[in-house]
Structure 1
């Protein structure tokens, strides 16, 4: 039985509704919302009880969130027990997004070169420009965040 109150459940479900359209499986999206609410790292037993899911589903979702760099795994010395917590490494998460934006832009430009159609060339080049502009804007924001943190204004 879950110990989450109605407001916490609503928050978790609202986070999931935001992430599912981006291709994040529902269980992983709910787990991310849950981890955002947890003050400390939690084990799979607690996750499965609180979210009312199987331990194996919790494990698969947690590993997926690790791949997305949205969660991180912690082990307890001397045991096999694994804990999960939300990742606060925003720079890495956004850096991965930027690498994806750049890779997509490069593929779009290759597609433009390969296309015999002027209409498709223009479309692909425009899409590449948008991706590169988003990458540049995020890079600028990351530099500003890093500078604030270095100056103690975080």
Structure 2
């Protein structure tokens, strides 16, 4: 990637990174993590926290917290360097895993909505809760189909 070796991001690269952050922040991803995700999308090789901090002009501790969060979201992957305590981060290609996590959350939400339906005191509220549960069930099924199609596509390309 041009200009990455001298720790200077171009204006276009910074704009892309900020655009990624603008998409992710409303979904609850902290600004620094969202910006680092945009950065990892552009970077070719695994990078150290020192390099992330220098390139992004943030503290190493902020980079560390954000990178660990991206790892939890399965958006980034950690690599260790043999014979060293150094850790490198790279963009994760586990797209299906991110959907699997969302699918588990939607499953739990559907169960919760159906339990709430039993507690509702009005028919209108019970209907609304059932409609919500049906919507999230349909969403989960669609996500499972997408994940399976992706697995098949990946298996076919190997």
Q: How high is the TM-score relative to the length of structure 1?
A: 0.95
The within-5 A match list for 1:108-119 is 108-119=113-124
1:61-87 CA distances to partner (integer Å, 9 max, x unpaired)? 001111111111111011111101111
Q: Equivalents in 1 of 2:101, 2:48: separation in Å?
A: 27
Q: Equivalents in 1 of 2:78, 2:151: separation in Å?
A: 24
Q: Equivalents in 2 of 1:100, 1:68: separation in Å?
A: 13
**Structure 1 segments of 4 or more deviating over 3 A?**
none
Q: Equivalents in 2 of 1:74, 1:149: separation in Å?
A: 22
Q: Does 1:97 align with 2:121?
A: no
RMSD value over aligned CA atoms?
A: 1.3
Unaligned ranges ≥5, structure 2: 1-5
Q: Does 1:134 align with 2:139?
A: yes
Secondary structure (helix, strand or coil) at the match of 2:32 reads helix
Q: Give the Å deviation of 1:151.
A: 2.1
Q: Does 1:28 align with 2:33?
A: yes
Q: How high is the TM-score relative to the length of structure 2?
A: 0.92
The count of corresponding residues between Structure 1 and Structure 2 is 153
Q: Give the Å deviation of 1:41.
A: 0.6
Unaligned ranges ≥5, structure 1: none
